[in-house]
Structure 1
Amino acid sequence: MSSDFYTTSILPFAGIIIKICRAYTDSQEDFEDYYQEVCLQIWRSREQFRGDSKWSTWIYRLSLNICLTLIKKKKNNRQHVVSEYQFVEDTEENQAFEDESLNQLYDAIKQLSEIDRAVILLYLEEKPNKDIAEIIGTTPNNIAVRVNRIKERLKKILDGKIN
């Protein structure tokens, strides 16, 4: 990947990629793998961008699809080995943000379905319902209803953690 393409076409949208990858991963290692894979796929797919939407919308859609594909691959390849010694410590290294309430929000978002995660992330990015609908593949009215339901669900999840 050329540094010019990365600097001009990926780096300005790194925030989008980071938020999507963070919402679909549980560890720093997975996050880095997902981020790298998304950047690689953007570079590989750059010629397929037709300009039907904004570049940022295309980046969202591609990032989301890649993360969802990686999750499916991981689920299919995972061998279920349960051991009383296997656990993930809740250390500062596993925390994505310094702000604890932001970490709690992302933990709550991770409890949503894959599509609901995508919708709420786009909503938090202040994307209009029309853009979210285009990325997800539905109608703006459906997005409005879905956002309200997601907010209620997150509120219920967080009520036990924040107060």
Structure 2
Amino acid sequence: MNKELEHRFVTELENNQNIVHKICTLYTNDKSSHNDLFQEITIQLWKAYPKFRGDAKFSTWMYRVALNTAITLYRKSKKRIQTQDYDSVIYKIKTDDYDDTEEQQLKLMYDAVKQLGDIDKALVFLYLEDKNYSEISETLGITEVNARVKMNRVKNKLRTILNP
């Protein structure tokens, strides 16, 4: 590939990499897996980039490729034994003036979202990214009405998970 194409890709990826990191956080449980998934998504984006026509915004196209990659790898990983990252088990010293309430609430929400199915996770992620239902439906390849119905069902599932 030519240098101009490579430069455009790197620039777009750098400007939108938070999208990939958020998807990695949803579909992984530890830093190593997060980094592996980030790398795999980046590879898939690079492979697909020459075919990117610009019909949609780069970020929308990136969501679709990243989510499809994450879902594919997530389904494959379900067949393997799950392990827990050592860093998440060791004790950490907290200072008295540090309030981790918001961090704990965010962790509870991520844990609840991780219990959802693949498409539901993607739907929640896009919703939390303030995407409108038109963008969500385009990214997931479903109708706008279907996206709204699914989102209402997912909200109810999350309520049930968070408030048993």
TM-score (norm 2): 0.81
Q: Which residue of 2 aligns with 1:33?
A: 36
How many residue pairs end up in the alignment? 150
C-alpha offsets along residues 77-120 of structure 1, whole Å, 9 cap, x if unaligned? x2x59xxxx76664379xxxx81111110000000000000001
Query: Which stretch shifts more, 110-119 or 62-71?
Result: 62-71
* Corresponding residue for residue 156 of structure 2: 152
> What pairs with 1:120-135 in structure 2 (closer than 5 Å)?
120-135=124-139
1:48-76 superposed Cα distances (whole Å, 9 cap, x missing partner): 10112111100000000111121233345
Q: Normalization by structure 1: what TM-score?
A: 0.81
Alpha carbon RMSD of aligned pairs, Å?
Answer: 2.5
**2:109 maps to which of 90, 97, 105:** 105
- Superposed displacement of residue 36, structure 1: 1.0
Work out whether residues 30 and 85 of structure 2, in 8 Å CA contact, stay in contact via their aligned partners in 1: no
Tell me the CA shift for residue 5 of structure 1.
4.5
1:114 aligns with 2:115: no
Identity %: 39
- Which one-letter code corresponds to 2:58 in the other structure? W
Name the SS for the 1:146 alignment partner. Answer: helix
Alpha-carbon distance in structure 2 between the residues aligned to 1:92 and 1:118: 30
For residues 21-59 of structure 1, give each alpha carbon's deviation from its aligned partner in whole angstroms, at most 9, with x where no partner exists: 111111111111001111122122210101121111000
Secondary structure at the counterpart of residue 115 of structure 2 = coil
Task: Please list every run of 5 or more consecutive structure 2 residues that lacks an aligned counterpart in the other structure.
Answer: 92-101
The equivalent position to 2:142 in structure 1, one of 138, 143, 146, is: 138
Q: Residues 92, 156 of structure 1: CA spacing in aligned structure 2 closer, same or farther, 3 A cutoff?
A: farther
**What code does the residue aligned with 1:91 have?**
V
- SS in structure 2 opposite 1:99? helix
Q: Indicate if the aligned counterparts of 2:29 and 2:84 stay in contact, CA closer than 8 A.
A: no
**In structure 2, how many angstroms separate the alpha carbons of the residues matched to 1:75 and 1:131?**
29
Structure 2 vs 1, CA of residues 107 and 8 (structure 1 numbering), >3 Å: closer, same or farther?
same
Counterpart Cα distance in 2 of 1:156 and 1:92: 30
Give the match's secondary structure for 2:48: helix
Partners of 2:10 and 2:109 in 1: CA distance: 30
Unaligned runs of 5+ in 1: none
**Counterpart in the other structure of 1:17:** 20
